[in-house]
Structure 1
Amino acid sequence: MNKVGIVGGLGPESTVDYYQSIISNYQERLGKKEVLPELFINSISMYQVFDYISNDDLDGLVTYLSDAVKKLEAVGADFAIISANTPHLVFDRVQQQVKIPMISIVEETYQQAEKKGLDRLGLLGTKFTMEHDFFKKAFTSRDKEIVVPDQSEQQYIHETIVEELENGIVNQETKAEYLAIIQRLIEEENIQGVILGCTELPMIIKEDDVDLPQLNTTGIHVHKVVETILAIDL
């Protein structure tokens, strides 16, 4: 059985969700409650990550994340994940700096889009995820289209993620605004599905809120993590 190392704290609310979801998914896969996976969590600062990106210090971000993964290596993790979308901006560079394999939330989300036959998707996340091309590239390089909200919508989504969701606050007015943005993308951009490209978004957008496929990046990531713990599909 493989042990996963989780770079968490990005933010704390989604790290709790990862922990609980990995356990419940693991128990479900084995068909019993009296089992628990062994895992390690290294909780770092999402604010430090945001500062590195805001200051365009990607070298600093690579070092910060690589050091976090190396600590997980040192305590015995067999593979690692970063439990957030935004830090995947430098995922490939971090993987090159560490010894253990890592599972990309972006790549796993692409694979789910492919399985579902979705070729034009809306992407919601932090402004860094929506502005940069690290998420989009995995799709557009393989003939899928990614559509993001307009600049004012991006700013609203980012601010409410940081100020509300990252602090465990679920505001129904914010939810209504998110759903209105998604509806606009459906009507004006003809999206076939929506990527919840921030690991906090499933706190506020639920599966039955939108009448089109959702790619919940947290759930997708967790599913692959449990498969890897169980040495399935390696």
Structure 2
Amino acid sequence: MQTIGLVGGMSWESSAAYYEALNQGVEERVGGLSSAKTVMTSVDFAEVTALQEQERWDDVAEILAGAARGVEAAGADFLLLCTTTFHRVADQVAGAVDIPLLHLADVVADACKAERLDSVGFLGTTFAMSRSFFTDRVADHGLTVHVPDEKHHEMLNRVIYDELVHGKVLDTSRRAVVELIDELWDAGAGGVILGCTELELLVHQADADIPVFPCTTLHVAAALDRALA
């Protein structure tokens, strides 16, 4: 089994979800007392979020690259960034280490293509929806990507940052997000990418009428495929 490197802390709820899912996955696939071989470095979410808001991406990249180098030095065979928004600096992080980075956008796009989709919706933070660093990489796989109208971005950001990162899962917010999924469906999306780990706490396949692609679940599955190959 290979050792999976994790750069986490964005948020700690997200990191906990990755750690739990990786270990549950190994238990299911291998059985017995088996658990995942992991190395995790957790950064300060407040610090990197403040730098993001100031558009100080070189500073964000330096922090995450440093964390990645620490994970590599601790023996990781490959690397995951436990975040969607901070994939904005994924290329810089990948360039700072000698181990492969398993890019989330590539994993999710492959899953959408496996379902024979050519058009998907994307839900995430305001930053991830309003900038194209993630959706462009998904589109590079031949997919058309739809995002909600800008008037809905503040609501999604509030649900993520004021509720989900603190472990609050509210039915009213679930209904609001499901309504957005329906709007994306009307716009032509054949499925929807939950482009924020915390959204997986809120919305599940049973809530939607189109295929839901949970980023963390797919990222974890791809990591386990690699680690256990």
Cα distance in structure 2, aligned partners of 1:141 and 1:6: 25
Cα deviations by residue, 1:159-201 (Å, 9 ceiling, x for unpaired): 21011000100011111111111112222x0210000000111
3-state SS of 2:197 partner: coil
Cα deviations by residue, 1:48-73 (Å, 9 ceiling, x for unpaired): 22222211111111101100111111
Is the aligned partner of 1:221 residue 2:219?
A: yes
- Aligned partner of 2:167 in structure 1 is 168
Amino acid at match of 2:208: V
- Segments of structure 2 that go 5 or more residues without pairing to the other structure are none
- Segments of structure 1 that go 5 or more residues without pairing to the other structure are none
3-state SS of 1:215 partner: strand
Query: How is 1:103-114 mapped onto 2 (pairs within 5 angstroms)?
Result: 103-114=102-113
Amino acid at match of 2:168: I
Alignment partner for residue 202 of structure 2, among 201, 204, 215?
204
Cα distance in structure 2, aligned partners of 1:171 and 1:225: 30
Residues 105 and 138 of structure 2 are in contact (CA less than 8 Å); yes or no, is this contact kept in structure 1?
Answer: no
Amino acid at match of 1:90: V
What TM-score do you get using the length of structure 2 for normalisation?
0.96
Cα distance in structure 2, aligned partners of 1:213 and 1:111: 14
Cα deviations by residue, 1:1-37 (Å, 9 ceiling, x for unpaired): 211111111111121111111011111111x131112
Identity %: 29
- Aligned partner of 1:120 in structure 2 is 119
3-state SS of 2:34 partner: coil
Cα deviations by residue, 1:118-161 (Å, 9 ceiling, x for unpaired): 11111000111101111111232343111111112111101210
Deviating 4+ runs (over 4 angstroms): none
- Aligned partner of 1:140 in structure 2 is 139
Cα distance in structure 2, aligned partners of 1:130 and 1:14: 18
What TM-score do you get using the length of structure 1 for normalisation?
0.94
Residues 84 and 104 of structure 2 are in contact (CA less than 8 Å); yes or no, is this contact kept in structure 1?
Answer: yes
- Aligned partner of 2:11 in structure 1 is 11
